[in-house]
Structure 1
Amino acid sequence: MLVRRGLGRAQRFVPPVRSFHSTPVPRRTTAYDLLDTRTFSIIAHIDHGKSTLADRLLELTGTIPRDSSNKQVLDKLKVERERGITVKSQAVSMVYRDPAQPRPTLLNLIDTPGHVDFAYEVRRSLSVCQSALLVVDATQGIQAQTISVFKIAQQCGLVVLPVLNKTDLPAADTPSCLAQLRDILGIDTDAQPPLLVSAKTGQGVPEVLQALVARTPALPGVDGVSLEQRQPPGLRALVFDSWYDNYRGVIALVSITDGAVKKGDTIVSYHRGKKYEVLDLGVNNPEPVSTPILRKGQVGWLITTMKDTEEASIGDTFFRHGERVEPLPGFRPALPTVFAGIFPTDKSEFLKLEDAIQRLCINDRSITLQKESMTALGQGYRLGFLGTLHLDVFRQRLEDEYGHEILVTTPTVPFRITYRDGTQVLCSNPVDFPDESIRKTHIAQLEEPTVIGSLVCPEDYTGAMMELCAEHRGEQLDIDFSASATAAAQVHMQYRLPLAEIVTDFFDKLKSRSSGFASFDYEDGDYVPSDLVKMQFLVAGTPVDALELVLHRSKASLVGRAFVRRLKDAIPRQQFEIKIQACVGSKVLASETLSAYRKDVTAGLYGGHYERKLKHLNKQKEGKKRLKAMSLGKVQLPHKSFMEILDTRAQRSS
């Protein structure tokens, strides 16, 4: 059974990623005591200019100096800068002075990820916002993840301000984008005209700030109320993120919904009932800056006497000790959808890898982990992720930040098994999946998770995309066409797909067959009955547990043949021949034979009778028989072979 990690006390350290300033600039210190407060987020499809727009907003408000080097200021992680994506949500406070407003405004910006794997981060961040800037690339139009994040914003009850970015480019098609906003998202572009901007040059960005102040509703009891009147007796602070700093301990990111909190206060966790003293608090500007107090409407960080990140429960409510308050509505934690085993390439390095994994997991609460041991790979961990990109980012961070060479097994999804006695269990490890013999006698039903996928592509690629979804056992639910007088039609298709079909090569094939023009996003669906089988791979008659797979019966022969061929190429030749087989139960679906090295034992014979050569050949044959008998079941697969076989990138190309 999967369990959430318990990392014990705060002896585990992570590299410092943020610095703290106790003496901020005086202008900024007084600027936080404002009457008007707005909390908003920027949401968009990946690569539509979300982080670039955030950079321009920070420059225009004077939060950071105008500098050509300002690129992805809020993307702190190395992997975010290398890939050009946002992985972790970031919060920053900035002061905006609108000429049309009598007072300055405090803007709290929550920068969110754009990829589907990090939808949990998006939902968590939007829960503390009042509005959202929906950024759409004017050269690409609405994409799959645009639809996804828009729906999340609607579910959170936010005011959505559409923004068309990159309108200065020759390829920009504003009329087509306006039509898509109306037809696909249902936005009344006449009553709510989208803002036209170029985040790269800053064109139109001042109007974005003005629209934020004008259209974003203030929290009740905040806008236009004096500071003395804005402090009701009850403090309520919603925890929506936390991380660990090796010098300051556990840091909780909170949104102050009611009341105020200051240094020295004693606060209580509503769900855990534990008391903590506030040691320090402040806001991000964009670096962490200490402030004397956090008031209603502000988003900031708290450092308390908390010693374990598990105590900073996401969605918890902090209140002042001695007061009685109603908890704020929280949100469900994300459940992992993709599982993979992580093992060290050198078995003696397990303890170092364990420490590295636990350090990273401190700052990513959505990952689940469980110790795992395999005959072929030794000790390791089985981790649960929110998607394949989430897994790949974690792998890269593990290698970049801690310098560990690791081996990642083939990603799997959680299957649901219903036994004849009515018991239901989730199985995310192929090793634990029941064999065919057990299935016939003890299993009532096998089910696999599905997703409801949204696919957006130009009309010319409709056939190729429908064919791709059919190959991956997809069921079409809906299809819509959106066209304008100046651009080709965009097709929006909705499919139900098995989750197992999209965690390996689906996205690569999607981009390849659509020449990069299609986009895909999905949300969780239901479990559906499925004809699932467990495939084992035998090397010299011995099963290799690290290579076991669970897949649909219709794909078994094709996958078995591909894996057997890769195994044959990856395993070093021996002095005897090795049989490699892919089996489902007792049935062999694919087989290859790795030929033995051959030594010419007759090379030293210069003439002589034929029986003399035959004697040497028979002696060699008997020797190989004895060697094979002694080595049966002991064929050692080097870690390099496993890396070639299990590399998901290699699987996608095969």
Structure 2
Amino acid sequence: KSVDFCRVGDTITDSKMYERSKKTGMEKVQALPGYKEVRPVVYASLYPTDGDTYNLMRDSLDKLKLNDASFVFEPESNPALGKGFRCGFLGLLHLEIIKERLEREFNFAPTITTPGVVYEVRLRGKQEVQKIYSAMDMPDPTLIDDIAEPYVKLEIITPSEYLGSIMELMNNLRSIYLNTEYLDMERILISFEIPLTDIIVNFHDDLKSATSGYASMNYEFVGYRPSDLVKLDILLAGEKVEALSRIVPKEKAHAEGSVIVTKLKDAIPRQNFAIAVQAVIGGKVVARETIKPYRKDVISGLYGGDVTRKNKLLDKQKKGKKKMGNIGKVNVPSEAYLAVLKR
């Protein structure tokens, strides 16, 4: 017996009533209508920073799942990050809540991969469709025939005076306008079709800001559609950080890369050597920032004398930093992962 078998929305009946219905030939007890299983729309992977705490983290996620019916997870393994869990969430806020509860209640600070939706990839010469849950699972681009992403029908109810602000907001996204319906003299219903990945991060906050908090939104899945998507990788000091990889529209890859490297520059602590932060598509660098190193004043003890003494110390410091840059490793804190997720 496990409490997992009893979910929110289940109809509980008396066993005697069930036995009586079998004997008399009556219909079986019907479940109460109106309850639907909550399905996650955003997927992200959580990896423990220490591989020895994998079992403890699994127990912690099990406890969180008991009082959060919308949270789901399953084990997965990655060559770069080790053993972890692929988790399903209702949105980015839900992800942040789970992350905060892991830190406060169980003292875990996991590595969080970039959240995304489920993509469908069809390989060349094959008919079956392969589901991709994260950018780390993306096949080689030369083997891909086409990529499809989920689209939703988005409905926004708002006072009519905010129509212009909403249209301006939607023009910045890959939305398709459908129609506008007047519910009464003051309220309107605006319908769009839009990729799910465009509205799972900060769209709700942007909508509330554009309408002074008056607008409300609802969306439903309408199917998968082919899109021109590429994998964007992040390099720190020349090493690829798998957890920061993401799938982005090709036309927005340069802009996305610039935003990510700028945020990482502010979020990653400085080291004793320079750290190059690069956004890469395939073998092409599309954006770069450099985190400046700490610098000790090695010539503070010099008082006069020949300039060659000063240059000798500076050259020695320069060589030391270059050597440290070749052997040093950069640890990405969990706060940096969340900083990248927010737009």
Partner residue, 1:602:
299
Give the SS at the match of 1:636.
coil
C-alpha root-mean-square deviation of aligned residues, in Å? 3.3
Give the counterpart letter for 2:117 in structure 1: V
Tell me, yes or no, if structure 1 residue 646 matches structure 2 residue 343: no
Question: Which structure would you say has the larger RCO, counting Cα contacts within 8 Å and 6 or more residues apart?
Answer: 2
1:442-591 aligned within 5 A: 442-484=143-185, 489-591=186-288
TM superposition shift of 1:338: 1.0
Partner residue, 2:6:
242
**Is the alpha carbon distance of 1:603 and 1:406 closer, same or farther for their aligned partners in structure 2, counting shifts above 3 Å?**
closer
Partner residue, 1:355:
59
Give the SS at the match of 1:254.
coil
User: Matched residues in 1 for 2:23 and 2:335: separation?
Assistant: 54
1:296-307 aligned within 5 A: none
Give the counterpart letter for 2:6 in structure 1: S
Structure 2 counterpart of 1:637, from 311, 328, 331: 331
Give the SS at the match of 1:483.
coil
TM superposition shift of 1:568: 1.1
Structure 1 counterpart of 2:117, from 413, 416, 423: 413
Whether the aligned pair in 1 keeps the contact of 2:113 and 2:337 (CA below 8 Å) is no
Structure 1, unaligned stretches of length 5 or more? Answer: 1-8, 15-240, 244-250, 268-294, 296-318
TM superposition shift of 1:426: 1.1
Structure 1 counterpart of 2:76, from 369, 372, 396: 372
User: Matched residues in 1 for 2:197 and 2:12: separation?
Assistant: 37
Structure 1 counterpart of 2:322, from 602, 621, 625: 625
User: Matched residues in 1 for 2:325 and 2:208: separation?
Assistant: 47
User: Matched residues in 1 for 2:326 and 2:265: separation?
Assistant: 21
TM superposition shift of 1:636: 2.6
How many residue pairs are counted as aligned between the two chains? 339
User: Matched residues in 2 for 1:376 and 1:387: separation?
Assistant: 26
Tell me, yes or no, if structure 1 residue 262 matches structure 2 residue 16: yes
Q: Give deviations 1:309-349, integer Å, cap 9, x for gaps.
A: xxxxxxxxxx7489696796999855432101234466554
**Is the alpha carbon distance of 1:396 and 1:581 closer, same or farther for their aligned partners in structure 2, counting shifts above 3 Å?**
closer
Give the SS at the match of 2:264.
helix
Whether the aligned pair in 1 keeps the contact of 2:156 and 2:217 (CA below 8 Å) is yes
1:216-295 aligned within 5 A: 242-243=6-7, 253-254=10-11, 261-262=15-16
Whether the aligned pair in 2 keeps the contact of 1:455 and 1:518 (CA below 8 Å) is yes
User: Matched residues in 2 for 1:347 and 1:645: separation?
Assistant: 19
Whether the aligned pair in 2 keeps the contact of 1:374 and 1:546 (CA below 8 Å) is no
**Is the alpha carbon distance of 1:626 and 1:410 closer, same or farther for their aligned partners in structure 2, counting shifts above 3 Å?**
closer
User: Matched residues in 2 for 1:352 and 1:321: separation?
Assistant: 48
**Is the alpha carbon distance of 1:497 and 1:548 closer, same or farther for their aligned partners in structure 2, counting shifts above 3 Å?**
same
TM superposition shift of 1:627: 2.4
Structure 2, unaligned stretches of length 5 or more? Answer: none
Q: Report the TM-score, using the length of structure 1 for normalisation.
A: 0.47
TM superposition shift of 1:543: 0.4
TM superposition shift of 1:254: 1.8
User: Matched residues in 2 for 1:620 and 1:321: separation?
Assistant: 89
Q: Report the TM-score, using the length of structure 2 for normalisation.
A: 0.85
Higher helix content, 1 or 2: 2
Partner residue, 2:128:
423
Whether the aligned pair in 1 keeps the contact of 2:122 and 2:144 (CA below 8 Å) is yes
Give the counterpart letter for 2:303 in structure 1: Y
**Is the alpha carbon distance of 1:627 and 1:390 closer, same or farther for their aligned partners in structure 2, counting shifts above 3 Å?**
closer
